[in-house]
Amino acid sequence: MQTIIAQAKKFVRDENGITALEYGMLAGLITVLIIASIASIGSTLQKVFSDVANTI
């Protein structure tokens, strides 16, 4: 019984899994921001090219 309690305490203090989870969440957030900015820039570029094509 003592070893189970000691292992449980060791598991609670271990932060390696938490660090990996934080990196995963950060990577996901960066991915969402990149996709949103590409979508925004894409629609803006389409408008610019349409304006240029209409002017020509």
Residues 1-56 have pLDDT tens digits of 778 888 878 877 776 667 778 888 999 999 999 999 888 888 888 888 999 999 98
Region of residue 32 (left: phi > 0; alpha: psi -120 to 50; beta: else):
alpha
Dist. CA 3–CA 47, nearest whole Å: 67
Dist. CA 1–CA 48, nearest whole Å: 71
Residue 43: what pLDDT? Answer: 80
Residue 11: what pLDDT? Answer: 74
Residue 46: what pLDDT? Answer: 86
User: Letter for the amino acid at 31?
Assistant: T
Residue 17: what pLDDT? Answer: 66
Residue 50 C-beta-side C-alpha neighbours within 13 Å: 6
pTM reported for the whole predicted model = 0.53
